[in-house]
Amino acid sequence: MIKKFFITGTDTNVGKTIVSSILLKKASEYGYKTAAYKPISSGGKKTSNIILNNDTIILQKNSSIKLTAKEINPISFSENAPPHILSDLYNENITQNKMSLGLKNIEKKSNWIIIEGAGGWYTPLSYKDTFSSWVKQEQLTVVIIIAIKLGCINHAILTEKAIFSEKITCGGWIANNIFPENKYNIDYIKTLLNYIKSPFLGVVPYLQDQNKIDVNNIQLILPK
């Protein structure tokens, strides 16, 4: 059976890629053939034949199955802006069919897949569809990454309620310390534990050097 998890966040820049890479490493230690899929990205370097996004490089490096950058990230834009705006600007349609075909290709090679979204839960794919509609179509289990900072409690509650409202399974949430810990971090997490109904999968500590991550020192439960 193939396990597939869609990683969403309470906002943009909450650490979805770093947390995804940690989950990939941990799943690999359990013997899974792990792979990542980032169907859409914005902000990357133009190479001879593709636009290479830094998140794609990180996900590629931490997957146990070797995939090309294009397989991991089939739709990419060089500018750092909302994908649906860039899609309209450059006349490159973002279709759910293309996103699904890319996922099916990875399913042939892997049995444990992290699918990373862009921005938050309702990031638009076009002027009429959001990422959530594709997640629902694919019947993916969602994992919420919550960046521990001012405003995260409200964003987390709204995100989970939105997921539940569409009758989508939420496999859990992860607290990500994107800033050095202060005296209120533990209080944020305690509050979230009282309000968020989905399983708590653990805490990622503040990582000063994201290029040197010892996953053995990070206690996370794999989503089910």
Binding site for substrate: residue ranges? 42
**What would the DSSP string read from start to end of the chain?**
--EEEEEEESSSSS-HHHHHHHHHHHHHHTT--EEEE--EEES-EE-SSSEE-HHHHHHHHH-SS---HHHH-SEEESS-S-HHHHHHHTT----HHHHHHHHHHHHTT-SEEEEEEEEETT-BSSSS-BHHHHHHHHTPEEEEEEE-STTHHHHHHHHHHHHHHTT--EEEEEEE--S---TTHHHHHHHHHHH--SPEEEEEPP-S-TTS--GGGS-BPPP-
Residue at token pair 């996103």 = 99
List binding-site positions.
Answer: 13-18, 42, 55, 116-119, 176-177, 205-207, 210
List binding-site positions for Mg(2+).
Answer: 17, 55, 116
38 is catalytic: yes
Instruction: Round to whole Å and give the CA distance between 190 and 188.
Output: 6
Please name which of 139, 146, 77, 152 lies closest in space to residue 103, comparing C-alpha atoms.
139
Which of 38, 128, 149, 197 is flagged as catalytic?
38
Q: Please identify every residue annotated as catalytic.
A: 38
